[in-house]
Each structure stands twice: as C-alpha cells, then as structure tokens.
Structure 1
Amino acid sequence: MSEAVHMAGQRAVENPLLAEGLKLFFPVAALHAVLLPLAWIVLFAYALPFAHEIPVSQWHAHEMIFGTYAAALAGFLTSAVAEWTDTPPRHGRALLALLFLWLPGRIVGLFGWDALVIVAAATDLAFLGMLLWYVLRALITRGSTRHASFAVWVALLWLLELSIRLAWLSGNADLAGRLLHAALVVFVVFLSLAVARINVVVINLALDPGGTTTPYRPHPGRQNLAAGLVAVYGAAALAAPASAVPAWLALAAAAALFDRLAEWFIGIAVLRTHVLALAGANLFAALGFMAIGMAGLGAPLSAATGLHLLSVASLGLAVLAVFIIAGLRHSGRPLDLPWHAHAAVLLMLAAGLVRILPETGLATFLLGKHYALSAFLWSLAFLVWLAGFLPLLRHPAGFVGRSAPQTISR
C-alpha cells in the first residue's frame, strides 16, 4: 500500500502541470472562470437553486473573488515567491493538497448552497491558510522580509473570508457586502504589487527582446504608492462607508494609478499586446476608483460601475495578462504571443466594455442584455487562453540562447 502511495506521488511530481503552482492553478482558475458564469446564466438563470438567505449577488461576487481570482493568486504566489527567494517551488502533492482544499468551496458556491456555508468556510480558510504557510515558509527559509507584504495581504484575505462567512451566518448581508468590497480591494492591491515586479521584466523585454540590456528602470516612488493608497481607501470604505472620506481617498488612489501610467511611456514598444494588457488593467483600475470617488461625492454615476471596472475590466485583464506572460516564460518560451493570447485579450477587453458602457449611458441598446453578453465574452476569453496555453504548459520547451530573464522581478 505504501509503495502504491509512493508511486502515485512520484507520478504527480513528474506531471508537468504539477511542476510548479502556476502550471496547475492558472488552468484551474481559467476553467473556473469559463464554467461558473455560464452555469449561473444558462442552468440557473441567475437564481441559484439553494440560495435562500444569502443574496445571489454576494454569492456571485464571492466566487469571482475567492474562486477564480484566489486560484490565480495561488498559482502566482507559489511560483513567484519561490523565484524571488531562490527556494524550490511547491510541486506535486503539495499543490494537489492546495487544490483539494480550494475545490469544495467552489462546488458549494456553484449552487449557492446556504446550508453548507460552514463546510465551504472551513475548506476555504484551510486553503488560504496553507497558501499563507507556503509563502511564509519560503521567506523563512531564505531569511528574507523583502516580499513579506504578500504574506500580510494573504493573511488579511484569510481574515476577510472568515468575516464574510460569519456575517452570512449571522444574517448581516450589509456587513458581508462591505467585506466583499474590501476583499476586492485586496486583490487590486495584489495587482498593483505584482505589476510593480512584473512590469520591469516585461517592459525591458519589449524594449530589447534579446534580453541583453535593461534600459528601463521603474520610478521608486511609483512602485508602492498606488498599492498604499488603495489599501487606505479600502480601510476607510470598510470602517466609514457613509462618510465622504472613502470617496476622496478613492480619487487619491485613482490619481496614483493614473500617474503610474507613465511607466508605459516607452514608445512604439508599448503596442505589444501583453504590454498593453498590463497598462489597460492599470488604466481600468484608475477609472474604477475615479468612478467610485465621483459617485461618493454626488456625481451622476453609480459606485457599482466603479466596482465593475475593478472586478471585471481591471482584474480580468490583469489576470489574463499574467497568465499569458508567465504561461510563456514558465514553459520555456520567449514572449512571442500566439494568436490565442491576442484573441483572449481582445475578448476580455470587450467583456469589460460591454459590462460597463451601458451603465454610463453609452451603448444603451445593450441594457438588459449586457450581463449575459459580458459573462459570455469573459468565459470565452479564458477558454481561448486555456485552449492555446494548456498544451504549452503540458509540454515545456527548452529556452534556446541566452538564459531568460526572470518573469517576475525581484
């Protein structure tokens, strides 16, 4: 029996998809992003069959944040932290354990199963706790605190998940909504911190595809300013949602994100799809916080429009860009994008615009249909990425020539 277990573990290690976190969790996150919206629209017509006490809209938000985006985060951190700290990446059974903890909550969330909230909470908290330990263990092994901020934000995400589930169990939907808003903000912080590291490599390779020079150096003041202001806004929005303070802080966060667009003033090299995708994610985040701030100060805008700019347009485009960049680099390939990558980015851009424009008074002919159409385009974007990149992740190629620069800057 023990020999059979050992052989199964050995096969898991040898499977290319279990060699490191992103090779497993990026396809898992993409598959979740493909299936979940279609199931909710086609099978359940937005009305989840077992959701009676918890609002359906909150189930939808939770599963986008703690389902799709949390799986993407797990893939990113289990690979990136190992790269930053020069420690062996988690692989094989360690990744499967993480996956099996993530999965039960997604089954419960698919049906909006109120009665199984405690079960889903237990496994989701265990999933985030294990992810936190994987990050901490690498930092401890290396004796480094340089990237400890990621551990802090994973811990905060764990706390928010616990609080959301407790709010649901106590019937406090208003508090749960504010906590979900805070969880979304945490993911925007992750986006900002990740882009600060990824962009250094991506822009340098765009300027010099051979990787022999590094002409781009980021402005130190921009690396953490946007993330810091987004975090301050999130704390204020959670603590004092009825005041004007969060609105002003949202505008400050928007200003920092707009200022950060200067990183992409690199001439014609910016026209590469993956470079534009990261810039677009940053732009949509800035527009999202601007909309939230203006709505809070009385402008004829809905704060929900700003939240959709963040959740669909900004994070959707950012996650897809990371999937494309890391999918190529970590499968031993240069950043020569296949057609799937270009198509997926265009579909995600369309999904974001279709979701947002009717809410701003533009493309009003889509009103009433834009939810389903945006969800379909969102699912199709991830499906196209999955079709193009899963074979690449399953069959890594040797990188020919000079050693490739790291995907994620230290």
Structure 2
Amino acid sequence: MSCGPTAQRRTLPSGLWATLSDEGFRLFFPVAALYAAFYPLLWVLALSFDAPFAKTVPPSLWHAHEMIVGAFGAALIGFITTAAPEWTDTEPPRGASLWHLLALWGVGRVVGFLGWEDVGLIGALADVLWLAGLVSWLVHLSLSRKTDRLLPFVFWLALLAICTAAGRFGFQIDSFELASKGIYLAGFAFLGLLGLALSRITVPVTNLVLDPTEETSPFRPHPGRLHLAPGLVFVAMLGEAAGLSDGVSGFLWCAAGAAFMDRVAEGFVGHEALREEILMLAGSSALAGVGLILFGAARLGAFWSEVSGMHVAFMGGLGLGTYAVFAVAGLLHTDQPLGLSIKTRVGALSLVVAVALRVAPDLGVDLPGPMYAVASLLWAAGFLLWLAEYWPAISGRSERVEDVPA
C-alpha cells in the first residue's frame, strides 16, 4: 500500500453513497468495523451465547464462522479491492460491483447472525460466491497485467473459500466435526492471508516512518521472510488435513507461530520502533504467533484448551492486524500523513486488553467480574473508536478532526 500523503488527490463523487462505493476501503472498512463491534457484543450480552434460529448446529460454530468469514471477511474485501489495483496499476472496482459484493456478504450475515439453518444453503452460497468473485477477479488482473504478484493471494483466497465451503457443508449434513474443522481451518487460512498482507504492508509503512520524504528506502527485510509464516501455516494445515497425530501437528503449529514471532523482529528499526503504526503491525504478528504456539502447546499436553490459542491467534492476531490495516490504509488512502490520533491508539489498546481478558480465565487467571462481557465491550469500543475517528475522511465529508504530526 504505497499511496502516500503526497499522492495526487482524486476528486470524490458527490453524495455519501457514491463516495462510499468509490473504493473498496471506503465501503467495507466501516461495515467490517460495525460488524466486528456489534456482533460479539450482541452475542454475549443480548443473545447469551446463542443463535436464535439454530436447531442442530452448535451456536459456538455459528459464532466462530461469523467472526472469521463475517467480520474479518468484510475487511478482506475492502483490503483486496483497494490494494490489488494499486499493486497492478489498474482502476479499482467502483459503484455497482462493490454494492453487489456487499449484498452477497450481507446475505451471509443475515443467515449467520441468526443461525438460520432453514436457509443455511443460501447463506453458504452467498459467502462462497463473494470469495470466488475475489479469486476470479485477481486471476483476471494477473493475466491482464502479466504479473505473478497477486498469485499468493489467489492461492490463499481459494483455500479460504474451500475451507469455508467445507465448514458450511458440515452444517448442511449435520457433521459438526467437519464443520468445526472447516471453520478453524478457514481461520488459519486467514492467518496465511494476514502473513501475506503484513509482508506487503510493513515494508512501505516502515520506510515511510523512517523517511517521510519517500526519497530513500532504508528498510529492506530479508526476502526469505516474505512467505515464511504463511508457508509454515500451510504446512501445518496440510498436517491437519492428513490427520497427523497431536504430537506432530502440535510441533507444526508451534513452528508456524515461531515464524510469526520472527516477523516481530522486523519492527526493531531503532527508536522509531515505538511508533504506533509499527507497534500495531508487529503486535499483530506477535499475537498470531503466540496464539499458534498456545494452540500447538495444547496439542502437546498443556493445561489450556486449543480454543484459547485460537482466540489469541484469531481475535488477537487477526483483530489487531485488521485494525492496523484500517488505521494505516485509512490515512494513506485519504491522502493524510502517518501519525495516529489518541482515539486510534486507545482503540488499539482496547482490542489488546479485550483479548487478554477473554483468554485470562482459560489460562488460570481468576479475575473478578463478568470478563466475557467486559472483553466484548472493550472489543466493540476499539473498532467504534476507529470508526468515529476516520468516518469524516472516509465518507469524504472532511479530514480527520485531530491530526498528529508524523
């Protein structure tokens, strides 16, 4: 995401709806933030960990699906439809094509939020269709521009679509073992996409922090790290599909987590490592890595459950990574310099604390009060703080209210 604050500003169309559909991030980042904020909050406080229309599918599976394919899925659409055209120097999808993607995504969310099993096949088809649409569009871009730069994303998006379809097929045939495996493998596929995205984002953002003039590129990480974390995640996923023993698969997941921890080292760039943009990107890798190591350790006999590791990896790694993309891309693609406001910083901290509170009981830390409720409130507050801060610029109504010098 190389668009910097000095890039030439494009005149936005008049009208809110036209502005929102002018680029993918303007439409899908706010939608993702709202869904990520309110769905878990309602799941805990209003639905009491239930799905209103669920009959046979455990509500926890619907919940996991909605967080991975629903909340993070909307963020993925916004990221891909914004970043891929920039990487290939092509026009991004605008207008009707974005609204069609939103409609497909929305059909899936109505079904998933309610656990509406009677029309579950419709929701499943809607989710697979928007994923397949992204894959086919990226393939078209790759062929038309004669580039292989997008092929890793094509691979991981296709894998995500396959895992999602497998999970939903398990819903349809009441095979909850298949459903569970498909859903958590979809989450791991998202971690593969996260590793790819971080490798593409971290370099230009770090260089922009180190040299705001963009005249030099002082940060050049080792190319061997580019696909290390996604590659080891894929190896571990193959182990899951092959039915390897808990001991072997546990070591594979620990190795994948270590690869994400290796990415954290890229954040050590001198005193600028304390810049919030770099801390958030490194923090996303750290939480993904810690979560995968906890998941692997559970397979190896640790006292906590595998679900605890998945919460750290998905809620923490994917959650903070999504937030970091929202914050950084939300500035650069609205022609603003780097430098995060107090609201944005507090929002990021809220997400991290929410993750800690969510997994604390699982790890034997006994804290007073309704921890799940507090965690869901802090999680929602994080994304809503981002939305409140960035909405004026994203909607085209004004620049940020509070600008912080880079």
Shift of 1:11: 6.9
Shift of 1:14: 8.0
**Mapping 1:149-228, distance limit 5 Å:** 149-228=152-231
Q: Which amino acid aligns with 1:383?
A: L
- Residue matched to 2:96: 93
The question of 1:264 aligning with 2:262 is answered: no
Q: TM-score, normalised by structure 1?
A: 0.90
* Cα distance in structure 2, aligned partners of 1:202 and 1:133: 29
Aligned residues: 387
1:307-330 Cα offsets, whole Å, 9 max, x none, are 111111111100000000000000
Shift of 1:300: 2.3
The question of 1:71 aligning with 2:81 is answered: no
The question of 1:282 aligning with 2:285 is answered: yes
* Cα distance in structure 2, aligned partners of 1:358 and 1:38: 19
CA contact (8 A) 2:298 2:304 kept: yes
- Residue matched to 1:384: 385
Q: TM-score, normalised by structure 2?
A: 0.91
CA contact (8 A) 1:26 1:72 kept: yes
Shift of 1:259: 2.0
* Cα distance in structure 2, aligned partners of 1:79 and 1:117: 30
**Mapping 1:3-402, distance limit 5 Å:** 15-240=18-243, 242-362=245-365, 364-366=366-368, 369-395=370-396
- Cα–Cα, structure 1 residues 46 and 201, in superposed 2: closer, same or farther, change >3 Å? same
1:156-177 Cα offsets, whole Å, 9 max, x none, are 1111222111111111101111
Determine what percentage of the aligned residue pairs are the same residue: 40
Question: What's the C-alpha RMSD, in Å, of the aligned pairs?
Answer: 1.8
SS at match of 2:360: helix
* Cα distance in structure 1, aligned partners of 2:341 and 2:397: 15
* Cα distance in structure 2, aligned partners of 1:374 and 1:241: 34
Shift of 1:396: 7.4
* Cα distance in structure 2, aligned partners of 1:12 and 1:146: 35
* Cα distance in structure 2, aligned partners of 1:138 and 1:343: 38
Shift of 1:251: 1.5
1:118-176 Cα offsets, whole Å, 9 max, x none, are 11012111211222222222222211112211011111111122211111111110111
Structure 1, unaligned stretches of length 5 or more?
1-9, 399-410
Shift of 1:99: 0.5
Structure 2, unaligned stretches of length 5 or more?
1-12, 400-406
Shift of 1:353: 1.1
* Cα distance in structure 2, aligned partners of 1:44 and 1:252: 37
Q: Which amino acid aligns with 1:64?
A: M
Q: Which amino acid aligns with 2:273?
A: V
Shift of 1:242: 4.4
1:46-104 Cα offsets, whole Å, 9 max, x none, are 12211111011000000001101111000000111101111110111110111011101
Shift of 1:239: 2.9
* Cα distance in structure 2, aligned partners of 1:155 and 1:82: 19
1:15-70 Cα offsets, whole Å, 9 max, x none, are 22111111111111011112211222232211221111101100000000110111
Higher mean C-alpha displacement, 199-208 vs 13-22: 13-22
